[in-house]
Amino acid sequence: MTKPYPLLFQPEFKERVWGGRALEQFGLNIPEGHIGEGWMIADHPNGTTSVVRGELAGLGLDQVREQFGAEWFGKKGFSEVNGRFPLLIKLLDCNDDLSVQVHPTDDYEGLPKGELGKTEMWYVLDAKPDAKIIYGLKEGVTREDLRKALEDGTVMDSLQEVPVKAGDTFYIPAGTVHALCAGVVVAEIQQNSDTTYRIFDYNRPGLDGKPRELHIEDSLNVTAYEGSGASTMSTDNAVPGKWLELAKSPYFIVEKGIVEGPWNLTTTEDSFTILVMCNGEGTLKWDGGSQAYTSGQCFLLPANLGSYTLEGNSTVLRSYLP
C-alpha cells in the first residue's frame, strides 16, 4: 500500500506572445522561447503534470486521482462537472502585457463541454518598478459603453489600472475584466479551466505573426458590469507562524504564511492542501520522510497525509477547498 506523501510535479510550460525567461529564477528548466506559463499542478486536457519523485514518479495527476480517489484528495477533491482535480496552479511570467480578458462563470451557456468557469487569484511574486495590472471596469461602464469603446478603439479608457508590488494579492471572480501587465511575475490559483475570452490584444501579432482571436460577444456576455466581488489586499501584515487569509471563494481558500523555524501543521480529510513556495527555502517533513524545498516549487499534500512540519525561512501560500 502506498503511503501518502507530498507530491511534486514536472511543470507543463506554455509559450505565450507575452512570455519571457523569468521563470528561470526559480531554477526551472524551461524550454526555448517566450515562456509565459508554468502549469505546476494540472489535470486538464491542455496540460497534465506528472509526479517527479517517490513511489508514484512518472504518474500523471489524473492517474494519481483515479488510483487514490477521495482518500488522498478529500471528499470534495473532484470537479462535479468532469471529475478532474478542481484547481489549476500556475506561475506566470509577464514579460509583456497580457490581453485584456474576462472569464465565464460555471453556468455560462457558451462554455465548451466539460469545461468549468474560471475564478482565480493572483499573488505577486515579483514586480518591476511602476508595474501595474488592469483590474475591472471603471465605475458606471455599461455593456453598451464597452461595446462602443471596442468599436472605436478607446477600450483602455474604460478600464481601471492598479499599481502592483511584490506581496500584493488580487481576487478575480469570473466576470472581472482584467490583464496582467509587463514586468510582473505571479502565482495563480484558479479553477481548473482554460477558458479565456479576449476583449482586446493591443492590435499585436501572435507568435504565428497573425492577430490572436478576440471573443467580443462572449466577453460582453460574461462581464459583470455591476461588479464581480473582486478584492485586493496588501499582505505586509503577515506574521510568522500564523495564516493570513488572502482569498475565500466557493472554489478555494488561499492563505499566506511566513515560516521562521519549525511550524507544525496538519491536513484534514475534507481536502488536499497545496503549498506554493513563494520565496526562501527550507525542509518539508512528514511521517515517513522529508523533502528540501525552494522558491517556485508547488506541493500537493494528500488529505490523509496528517501532520507535517515546515522548517526554514520562507513565504508560503496554502490553498485548500472550502
120 annotated among ligand-binding-site residues: yes
Query: Is 321 exposed, middle or buried (CB count within 10 Å of its CB: 0-12, 13-18, 19+)?
Result: buried
53 is catalytic: no
Which amino acid, residue 221?
N
295, burial (CB in 10 Å: exposed 0-12, middle 13-18, buried 19+): middle
What is the distance between the alpha carbons of residues 13 and 73, in angstroms, rounded to a whole number?
A: 24
Place of cell 484558479: 190
| Closest alpha carbon to 136 in 199, 73, 203, 60 | 199
> Catalytic pick from 198, 204, 212, 318?
198
Quote the cell numbers at residue 320: 485548500
Q: How many CB atoms lie within 10 A of CB 4?
A: 19
DSSP per-residue letters across 21-78 = SGGGGGT--PPSS-EEEEEEE-EETTEE-EE-SSTTTT-BHHHHHHHHHHHHH-TT-S
CA distance linking residue 23 with residue 9, whole number of Å: 16
Alpha-carbon distance values, 15 to 31, 81, 98, 164 (Å): 9, 28, 13, 24
Provide the terminal-to-terminal Cα distance of the chain, rounded to the nearest Å.
Answer: 29
At residue 279's C-alpha, the angle toward residues 244 and 322, to 5°, is: 35
Is position 103 annotated in a ligand binding site?
Answer: yes
Is 269 annotated as a binding-site member? no
Q: How many residues are there in the chain?
A: 322
Task: Give the catalytic positions in this structure.
Answer: 198
* Residue list for the binding site: 103, 120, 178
* Residue list for the binding site for Zn(2+): 103, 120, 178
